[in-house]
Amino acid sequence: MIDIASFIPEELKELAQLFPKQAPLYVVGGFVRDAIEYNKASQDIDVASALTPPELAYVLKNSKFGLKAASLRLGTMIIKGARSYEYTAFRIDSYPEGAGNHSPQEITFTRKLEKDANRRDFKCNAVYYDIREDKIVDPLNGIQDIQDKVLSTTIDPYQVLSQDGLRIMRLARMIATHGYSVEKTTKEAASRLVSRLRDISIERISTELVKILLSDNCYAGLSFLREIGAWNFIIPEIAKCDGVEQNPKYHKYDVLEHTFRTVEFAPKKIRVAALLHDVAKPVCQEKDGNTYKHDVIGAEMSKKILKRMKFPNEVIAQTEELVAAHMFDVTGTAKQATIRRFIAAHPDRVLDIVALQTADGKATGLVSGPLKENRILLEYNKMKEENIPIKISDMKYSGHKLAALGFRGKEIGDVLDEMFDNVIIGCIKNDAEVLDRYARKKMEKLHGNSNSNN
């Protein structure tokens, strides 16, 4: 048996000693599951007991532990020591009929651990560890599910998933993060009840989706959502990609399968962009009979989708830029100057664009060996080696120097842009003296000798 005690912080063991023997303190949920499955401690520690919040406050009175209410209605408190622990009193939850809106309508506190276990989502999350007694309590045979890496619900799956639609997203997340499979009846219930996702706030759905995207087994999680029809309620634009065939000369898979494989191959930090990079293909195909400009149209669609889903502005901006740029030079015919100008237009995200293009190429299903070297990356590395600036701020000349020569207003920006363009394409060197001579000649051409400071 796993030695869970070795993972428990000493102060938590001290805390457990304060609880009465008839209402011991348990660790429950992911910490216990991960300890059993991986023989390691997870970061978050959720604890529970039969004590209600007022009773807990009485037990901790005059102790070194602080207490803060998180949700008194749900019996949830934050116990503060050297670290924080989320505490929940044993309870029975009642949900409104016909709505899976995540929040129970009625709460009844209970002294019975078994009843608390039944109100949880999956059996693997309903294994309790008695800290003081160093004993595992497994009322629903959750350890077997952990060992079998299977997800089954604590009670009837139709009841569990209908109560809280977010649990459907959690199924996908557990598949993606832990490599679990879903028990047959539970999967059938998820398919039947998938519309309950409508009752969940978009912020909560987005949070779960991001966890799936960032997981090592993201492909399986995304595919499960397709199998149960969840994309219609998460991102309907993604659902429309299902079954959209592509030119077999360039793609083995339909748009949706290709999309999921692109996400799998992409670095984690750009997986939102990978998910949305081809989102406009069905729209373009329906409108024009081809996917031309799906990158440009997709960038605008991505922006709208992510705003709707309450993503941070930084993620929205990154995704919009990457989706718009992911088709650049796919034919391999762009001239060197064009590639360098492209790099200069995307100085902070050029490597992310390359990474998306690489994932996109691997996900075609037609690549048996290594991909050809990306020309954008080759040129980027060459510019670095030759000390050619990627950003205008890296140029060894500034707008202040142009102003000192007599340039004014819009002229300063225009001349600086012109100089930068000439530098990156190799017409002039990134050298202060060379650039100064260029600027003086430009001043003479525009204004004659009168404005030039010699």
Mean of all residue pLDDT scores within the chain: 93
Q: How far apart, in Å, are the Cα atoms of 187 and each of 77, 169, 209, 213?
A: 33, 12, 18, 20
Nearest to 154 by CA among 193, 121, 129, 107: 121
- Which positions ≥6 away from 446 have C-beta within 8 Å? 411
- Structural class in CATH, domain 4-148: alpha beta
Confidence of residue 381 (pLDDT cuts 50, 70, 90): very high
Does pLDDT of 206 surpass 70?
yes
Q: Decide: helix, strand or coil at residue 181.
A: strand
First-last CA distance in the chain: 84
Nearest to 112 by CA among 85, 89, 146, 83: 89
CATH code for 150-234? 1.10.110.30
Q: Kindly report the length of the chain.
A: 454
Does pLDDT of 295 surpass 80?
yes
Nearest to 72 by CA among 45, 58, 52, 46: 52
Does pLDDT of 385 surpass 90?
yes
Confidence of residue 454 (pLDDT cuts 50, 70, 90): very low
CA atoms within 13 A on the CB side of 18: 18
Q: Are 186 and 145 contacting, i.e. CB atoms less than 8 angstroms apart?
A: no
Q: Are 354 and 377 contacting, i.e. CB atoms less than 8 angstroms apart?
A: yes
Beta-strand relationship, 135-137 and 150-151: unpaired
pLDDT digits 0-9 by tens, 395-430: 999 999 999 999 999 999 999 999 999 999 999 999
- Which positions ≥6 away from 157 have C-beta within 8 Å? 183, 185, 186, 188, 189, 190
Does pLDDT of 286 surpass 70?
yes
| Cα(66)–Cα(48) distance, integer angstroms | 16
Lowest mean pLDDT among 275-279, 392-396, 450-454: 450-454
Does pLDDT of 275 surpass 90?
yes
| Cα(92)–Cα(89) distance, integer angstroms | 10
pLDDT digits 0-9 by tens, 111-161: 999 999 999 999 999 999 999 999 999 999 999 999 999 999 999 999 999
pLDDT digits 0-9 by tens, 90-116: 999 877 665 556 567 788 999 999 999
| Cα(78)–Cα(97) distance, integer angstroms | 30
